[in-house]
Amino acid sequence: MRRFFVLGFLILTGFGISAVSAEENTGAYIRSHYTKVEFEIPMRDGIRLFTVAYVPNDASQEKLYPILLARSPYSVGPYGADRYPASFYLPEEMMREGYIFVEQDVRGRFMSEGDFIDMRPHRDHKKAKETDESTDTYDTVEYLISHLDFNSGSVGIWGNSYLGFYTSAGIIDTHPAIKAAMPSAPIADWFFDDMHHHGAFSLNLSFNFFASFGVVRQGKTTEWPESFDHETPDGYQFFLDLGPLSEINTRYFHHEIPFWEQVIAHPNRDEFWQARDILPHLHNIHCAVMTVGGLFDAEDLYGPWHTYASIEEKNPGITNTLIMGPWSHGAWLRRDGRTLGEADFGFATGKDFRTRFLIPFFHHYLKGGDEFALPEALIFETGANRWRSFDRWPPENARKTSLYLQPGGRLDWKPDSNKSEEFAEFISDPAKPVPYTTNITTGWDREYMTQDQRFAARRPDVLVFRSDNLKEDLTIAGPLTARLHVTTTGTDADWVVKIIDEYPGRLPGFDPKSGEKDLGGTQRLIRLEIFRGRFREGYDHAVPFVPGEAATVSIPLQPILHTFLKGHRIMVQIQSTLFPFFDRNPQHFVPNIFQATREDFISATHRVYLSGDQESRIELSILEDQPGLK
């Protein structure tokens, strides 16, 4: 049997033992401690996938190492046996833990053969040579353990974001050698992850991504397409000037981005999008799984919650853990994690995760050493700034209740006793949409998920509701749903709901002479969601509003674990635009919103009803127990 024999293993480096100076460059460390091997792996249909392995220099027949595999659409370069990367996909701390790192260009990307399909649909019932990402992973692992010298026969698989999807897909019908997997911010259902939020289109994220990623590859390549030049740092103005979605092809893409063509041809969650939902297929998993995500991930917050839940439901008896920390997209892999924007979480949560959970997880399941127990769910409790462990998620001991939106901008635990028809209204003008961030950027702003919302509260097209100052700490845990009773003078509308922690005007213990920023009165965003109203009866078909006719819009928000401290207030803001993160609704119903013209965009008056039989509310759960108390 042909094997890859890795040169350089006689160079004894003290791998995993000798300390590395803080000044030593990461790339130089990789070059001096690993031997790089490039090769192609044949799949069952004959397509060959380009793969690179980094093997510790002290590997030998007496010293074997587990394999850590990442499959990527983003290139495993630099290419060439003499060219080494500045880092691996995994965090820098893992470099010194004793693994063979393997990275692979997925089918149809960069140096791998075949055709690339975005979020390639899974096949539940495959014939002999039919493939999907689960078979490509299986064939890759089978080849690696049979052909790559000095491997121990144990494999871990992991990936972040798009790589997280490949991780989830790769453990379906798990190869026996795969002992542990870490889907990190995994894309789960591309209609709800990245591309849309409840039907609203992720404009600047999708535009920027596909402007380069979506360019058709002309044969094998080692180079990325050129990134898009906005010719301005002001993303809000760029996307406003861009006009309706129907003009993007005319002005920029020129029908040369295939996936963009598919997106605009499928505005509803039809068979095209349903096939790009990996969640129903997460069966027959036989390895330990640790799903990781960020509570403030503006890109893939849907994926971790639902990936964990689907694996839990379909694979009883396996180790299946959920870890959610106070992080932006992928920050747990590289960043310190103490702060995000002006939000301070009290300690280095990212480093803490890597040291206490990521490294021990793979060490335990791939090397068999050190006793290691994971909780069912480890969730960071923002507000109180601490980790909380749960036997199940959502917690069983959380009491369901509702917060009611009331006249006069009030927020209360009881509905308004007034039976007359009360409402709050605002004018939504697509020509002047509410910005999603105060930062000037053409990309998506990592910090906006914790940003102070006073800039929005002061706009006339944003409704604001406040509770009284809390007399004691209050912890909200689990999913939330906003149930709004609404009308509009238009025939379509988006609805944005924000849950906000409003700080007291003067913070206890704050010293104006300290030089620190005064955060008194801060409106800290902790959760938000947007919902395209045309999908209120189902995402697979669009239904216009009848002007002036009441309708109910139910908006699922992603789960939270947050403590509103004594003296703070709970705030809810409601608006209709979140631009340019999400596209503008023309507010005149067009069956395919990607075909709306400039003439379709109109101003409309939106009402939210507050009393009588049409009270609007936020459904949530309160966690009543305190850590360490019975």
User: Do residues 314 and 174 share a domain?
Assistant: yes
- Report the CATH number that the domain containing residue 253 is assigned in CATH: 1.10.3020.10
User: Do residues 336 and 469 share a domain?
Assistant: no
Taking the CA atoms of residue 453, residue 458, residue 461 and residue 465 in that order, the dihedral angle to the nearest 10 degrees is 70
User: Do residues 286 and 139 share a domain?
Assistant: yes
The tokens of 431 are what? 């020509």
Predicted local distance difference test score (pLDDT) of residue 121: 98
Cα separation of 286 and 317, whole Å? 9
Q: Contact 525/447 with Cβ under 8 angstroms?
A: no
Is 263 part of any domain?
Answer: yes
Nearest Cα neighbor of 325 from 336, 317, 310 is 336
The tokens of 197 are what? 């939020």
Per-residue pLDDT of 108-140, as tens digits, reads: 999 999 999 999 999 999 998 999 999 999 999
Q: Which domain holds residue 613?
A: 398-623
Cα separation of 583 and 621, whole Å? 31
Is 574 part of any domain?
Answer: yes
- Report the CATH number that the domain containing residue 418 is assigned in CATH: 2.60.120.260
Q: Which residues of the chain, if any, have pLDDT below 50?
A: 1-24, 630
Predicted local distance difference test score (pLDDT) of residue 20: 43
Q: Contact 447/241 with Cβ under 8 angstroms?
A: no
Q: What is the arrangement of strands in the sheet containing 377-381, beginning at the earlier edge strand? A: 34-42, 48-56, 100-105, 65-72, 151-160, 178-184, 288-294, 320-325, 377-381, 386-390
User: Do residues 520 and 501 share a domain?
Assistant: yes
User: Do residues 405 and 463 share a domain?
Assistant: yes
Tell me which of 339, 361, 390 is where a domain ends.
Answer: 390
User: Do residues 406 and 376 share a domain?
Assistant: no
Is 17 part of any domain?
Answer: no
Predicted local distance difference test score (pLDDT) of residue 628: 60
User: Do residues 74 and 97 share a domain?
Assistant: yes
The tokens of 179 are what? 């002992």
HSE value, Cβ hemisphere, 13 Å, CA-based, for 514: 8
How many independent structural domains does the chain possess? 3
Is 348 part of any domain?
Answer: yes
Is 6 part of any domain?
Answer: no
Is 81 part of any domain?
Answer: yes
User: Do residues 342 and 402 share a domain?
Assistant: no
Tell me which of 217, 245, 274 is where a domain ends.
Answer: 274
Cα separation of 289 and 168, whole Å? 9
- Phi first, then psi: give them for residue 169, nearest 5 degrees: -65, -30
Cis peptide before 580 (omega within 30 of 0): yes
Tell me which of 349, 367, 390 is where a domain ends.
Answer: 390
User: Do residues 317 and 369 share a domain?
Assistant: yes
DSSP 225-250: PPPP--SSS-HHHHHHHH-SGGGHII
Per-residue pLDDT of 231-272, as tens digits, reads: 999 999 999 999 999 999 999 999 999 999 999 999 999 999
Predicted local distance difference test score (pLDDT) of residue 385: 98
Instruction: Give SS3 for 480.
Output: strand
DSSP H or E segment with residue 353: helix 349-353
User: Do residues 241 and 175 share a domain?
Assistant: no
Is 228 part of any domain?
Answer: yes
User: Do residues 227 and 310 share a domain?
Assistant: no
User: Do residues 404 and 452 share a domain?
Assistant: yes
Is 629 part of any domain?
Answer: no
Number of other CB atoms surrounding residue 327 within 10 Å: 26
> Which residues touch 274 (CB under 8 Å, ≥6 apart)?
191
Predicted local distance difference test score (pLDDT) of residue 17: 32
Nearest Cα neighbor of 266 from 195, 315, 339 is 195
Predicted local distance difference test score (pLDDT) of residue 612: 73
Q: Contact 564/383 with Cβ under 8 angstroms?
A: yes
Nearest Cα neighbor of 490 from 381, 411, 588, 598 is 588
The residue ranges of DSSP E strands in 73-130, in sequence order, are 100-105
Q: Contact 427/219 with Cβ under 8 angstroms?
A: no
- Phi first, then psi: give them for residue 351, nearest 5 degrees: -65, -40
